[in-house]
Amino acid sequence: MTFSRLGFGESVDPEELSSLCSSLALEEEEEILVPDLETGLQAQGERSIDRSLVGCVLSTGPIARDAFIHMIKGVWKTKERFEVEAIGSKKFVFHFLLITDRRRVFSGGPWCFKNKLLVLEEPTGVGDYSKMSFSKAPFWIQLHNIPVFYMSKTVGSILGNMVGLVQEVECNQDGLCLGTFIRVCTIIDISKPLKRILNVRLGTGKELVTILLIYEHLPELCFHCGLLGHPLKECPEIGALQGDILKLKYGAWIKAPTPSSGESTLQNKRRRPSSGPVSHAPLHGNPTTTKPHASTTKTRQKPHPNRRLNERPNPLHPSPS
């Protein structure tokens, strides 16, 4: 890197800046200074960290930063205003006035911008952005093909922890999971391929059961390698196949159908802030409202996604198309 890239007013990527500082430290011997930070300055820095989030958009191409900032301010319905600072081509810092707004946004994910995942991290320590990995993200996952006997919060928590770190299991007051699947909110490692199934042995007979994982609000995913952040056509592994028949490990079946605006789930009810219907809806643009035809007086509500699962193709043998 040369100094010419650090022009006045230009935004420098935190990783590039950290690399430059390291190289300069090796070339020159400078006196190590230890400033005496006042208690007030320390407290101010801690407040800034407590009210901030750092985000990275997973994309192989450039991000329209102005469009992203404008859109996200229209979607995150916070009680107080917040500021967005671009610290790189795909990284941003979000400064909130209220800690409650920060918590609501962080727990309301996953968030997407044009079908690309926005990974949020809570800064710690002094808030060194260059050391953030952006490798963890929360997702609501549906666990299918579980015998009725095991449809409980306890089992959902055990199975969810096999995928990631469980944050919540949807159940009733008695700890029972109603419906045909269990919903768990889990923080997963997005630097690895998404898990498709869990092969577990349940019960005294130790019968092997294959549990299917279906992800809600799943953004851009490569159906070949199973990684988030790039489409199938940009997968680096495909080039090494050299004309071999491509057998996809994933398909559209791994993405849960998006409920219509008339549908409601326990998650939507719990996570909808009082300031507006922001919930965990993806950042694809400002919500639009379609007015019914003049002759239409009633709208028939669509069934819940768990009632349409049987209409899906065999998920373990997706079509290459």
Angle value at C-alpha 192, between 191 and 195, nearest 5 degrees: 135
Per-residue buried b or exposed e for 133-148, using 16+ beta carbons within 10 Å of the residue's own CB: ebeebbbbbbbbebee
Q: What's residue 21's pLDDT?
A: 66
The answer to whether the CB of 250 falls within 8 A of the CB of 224 is yes
Alpha carbons 289 and 271: distance in angstroms, whole number:
21
Q: What's residue 108's pLDDT?
A: 87
pLDDT in tens, 18-35: 676 666 665 555 666 666
pLDDT in tens, 218-230: 999 999 999 999 9
pLDDT in tens for each of the 321 residues of the chain? Answer: 333 344 444 555 666 666 766 666 655 556 666 666 565 666 677 778 889 999 999 998 888 999 999 999 889 989 999 999 998 889 999 999 999 999 999 988 889 999 999 999 998 877 788 888 999 999 999 999 999 999 999 999 999 999 999 999 999 999 999 999 999 999 999 999 999 999 999 877 778 999 999 999 999 999 999 999 999 988 888 876 665 677 889 999 999 987 654 343 333 333 433 333 333 444 543 333 444 444 444 444 444 444 444 444 444 444 443
Q: What's residue 274's pLDDT?
A: 34
Alpha carbons 89 and 287: distance in angstroms, whole number:
26
3 state SS of 33: coil
pLDDT in tens, 157-206: 999 999 999 999 999 999 999 999 999 999 999 999 999 999 999 877 77
3 state SS of 83: strand
Residues in the chain: 321
